[in-house]
Amino acid sequence: MPARTHLPGVGPLQFDESTSWYRTEPLRVDALGGECEFTFEEFEEGAEAALAQCIRNFCALDPSVLTAATPALFAYYTSVAEALDYCEDEVPLLTEDEVWANVTFNRTPHVEFHDGRWYVISEDECAWEPEHGLQLVFADGAALTRISSYDGHPTHRGPWPAAEPGVLELPSGRRIRGRSLRRDIADERPDFGVYIGRHATPVEWDHTVLEWPDFRLPRDRNAFAAAVETAWERAGSERVEVACTGGRGRTGVTLACIAIVDGVDPAEAVRFVRENYDPRAVETPWQKTFVAKFRPPRR
């Protein structure tokens, strides 16, 4: 078929015969502070709208999407720095606040269809890993779901599958799993977990444990708010779960508060979780009131 010359909703296209890729005209991307030309391969008829929406989503991203991912980026930096014993001749010594300033963004991100979704993949340069670089992956162009060295793949394990039992998809596209601590998760292990109550047992992956009696409210509100913020941040690029004994009351409260951080109106957060996670989530009137009064830290 003849090469396409236009993508509805995006604009004119150029076709590069050497790569068999299409390239858009320069488009402003506020999150990256400049213009980008997007590349992508030939696609099936009927996919134009989803592809165009993915590109428009990426162009509309606010710089806050990168700010929210700072802990995940710093974790990547730390893994490289630790492997090199923080040798100043090999790797710059950076604080968490300095990592993004040491990233140079690629101005030709690639858009790829994988496992039913479109992804924007940006192969960037970073001061601490000049050989393997930095790969940022945005599912649907809207949610930063992977931070890694460059390997060309839009997912590692990626976000939780939408069909995974207990997975709540937030408006931003982040996915967080809620479950009962009684449920055996076998090989479906998370990267980070928030575990609630005295029945929480030690696990080998990164996690935090909250003191919180069943049917009641968190004993340490500051620790709870920090756990909610961390869970939301890490869900941008990792698999995160929340669990309590039954997986409904305290887990539902936590998921509702995470949804508030994601932008859900506090007055609607309980309904959102009941409709999209479990109809019996958030079990007591005082838990519902707690959610309605919750406000994201530093926001």
Give residue-wise pLDDT tens across range 142-193: 989 888 888 777 765 667 888 788 999 999 889 999 999 888 775 577 888 9
For 56, residues 6+ apart whose C-beta sits below 8 A from its C-beta are 9, 10, 141
Those residues with Cβ within 8 angstroms of residue 232's Cβ, 6 or more apart along the chain or in another chain = 68, 174, 258, 261, 262
Q: Each residue of 8-32: pLDDT tens digit?
A: 999 999 999 888 899 999 999 999 9
As a whole number, mean pLDDT of residues 197-204 equals 73
> What's the alpha-carbon Rg for the chain, to the nearest Å?
21
Q: Indicate the angle between helix axes 285-293 and 269-276, nearest 10 degrees.
A: 120
pLDDT, position 142:
92
pTM value? 0.55
Give the whole-angstrom CA distance, residue 289 versus residue 256. 12
- Say what the pLDDT of residue 199 is: 67
pLDDT score of 249 more than 80: yes
Find, among 224, 223, 276, the residue nearest to 250 by Cα. 224
Beta carbons within 8 Å of 77's beta carbon, 6+ residues apart: 94, 99, 126, 128
* Chain centre distance of CA 86: 28
For position 12, what pLDDT does the model report? 96
Closest CA to 214 of 180, 190, 177: 180
CA-to-CA distance for 10 and 40, rounded, in angstroms? 13
63-90 as b/e: b if 16+ CB within 10 A: eebbebbebbbbbbbeebbeeeeeeeee
For residue 299, pLDDT beyond 50: no
Look up tokens 């994201």; give the residue: 296
> Rounded CA gap, 213 and 273, in Å?
21
User: How confident is the model over 85-143, as pLDDT tens digits?
Assistant: 888 888 999 999 999 999 999 999 999 997 678 999 999 999 999 988 999 999 899 98
Cα separation, 9 vs 110, in Å, equals: 17
pLDDT at 83 over 90: no
Mean pLDDT estimate for the chain: 90
φ/ψ bin of 236: left (φ > 0), alpha (ψ from -120 to 50), beta (otherwise): alpha
Average pLDDT (224-244) is 91
Report the alpha-carbon distance of residue 278 to residue 263 in Å, rounded. Answer: 20
Percent of the chain with pLDDT over 90: 66
Residue 205, pLDDT score = 80
Answer with the residue of higher pLDDT: 74 or 114.
74
CA distance 189 to 207: 12
